[in-house]
Amino acid sequence: MTSIRSLSSRWVAWAFAAAYLAVSAVVGTVLLTMPKTDVTDAGTQTTYISEDQPEIMVSPAPAGFQWVRGPAGMQTVIPYGWQSVAAGQPGAMRAVDPSDPGRIVGFGGAKALSDDIVRTHIGYEESFAARTKAYHRVDLNSATYGGHKAVEWQFTHQDGGGLQRVQALYWLVDDVEYFVFVSGPDQRWSSRMKPVYDAMVANSSP
């Protein structure tokens, strides 16, 4: 019987003035790098519901998506027809829309550097801080995903094609940090990329 997985998240309010936002080393390398941003002491609550798929070849993928396997026993879905390839970092995969190279998804898993996933991501940010044009944080959330410690993070930045938006989820299971991310043009994010992110979150495991 399929179980129900939930992702709940809340704004992270940092207690020290010099803290910055962070993204994992894997995703930071796969996408673009990030400059500093201000910290906001705000609080919200979001909840996602998903279903764990027991076997990749048994349960059908959602309409418009296909199952893929990733490193460290991960599985998720990506848009149908997109081809996943190694992303150049240990434990990282990515796939690009063949009709629009500005639409990118990534997923994977690798041994975690620490069991403090939030502080680890803060530590990564400063090394990326000076290298992304027009970076703007949308949110950074501490979270739980399927009962596991997690971080959910979203930002915008400028690249050669215009304003891009990125949303990512990272979670820890048995000393492995897993992630999914989605990147696409900000102007059409809600209609074209947010549904992709939601589908990946709803159908990823472990």
> pLDDT per residue over 154-195, tens digit each?
889 888 889 999 999 999 999 999 999 999 999 999 999 999
Cα radius of gyration rounded to whole Å, the chain: 16
Query: Measured between alpha carbons, how far is 197 from 181 in angstroms, rounded to an integer?
Result: 7
Query: Measured between alpha carbons, how far is 165 from 146 in angstroms, rounded to an integer?
Result: 25
pLDDT tens-digit map of 102-118: 999 999 999 998 999 98
Query: Measured between alpha carbons, how far is 10 from 20 in angstroms, rounded to an integer?
Result: 17
Count Cβ atoms within 10 A of the Cβ of residue 17 and give its class: 0-12 exposed, 13-18 middle, 19 or more buried. exposed
Question: Is the Cβ–Cβ distance between 81 and 74 less than 8 Å?
Answer: no
pLDDT at 40: 31
Query: Measured between alpha carbons, how far is 91 from 48 in angstroms, rounded to an integer?
Result: 25
* Average per-residue pLDDT for the chain: 76
pLDDT at 34: 32
For residue 7, what are its two tokens?
Answer: 């992702």
3-state secondary structure of 159: strand
pLDDT tens-digit map of 17-36: 222 223 333 444 344 333 33
**Does domain 20-37+61-202 correspond to CATH entry 3.40.1000.10?**
yes
pLDDT tens-digit map of 23-73: 333 444 344 333 333 323 333 333 333 334 334 445 899 999 999 999 999
pLDDT at 72: 97
Question: Is the Cβ–Cβ distance between 200 and 183 less than 8 Å?
Answer: no
Question: Is the Cβ–Cβ distance between 184 and 167 less than 8 Å?
Answer: no
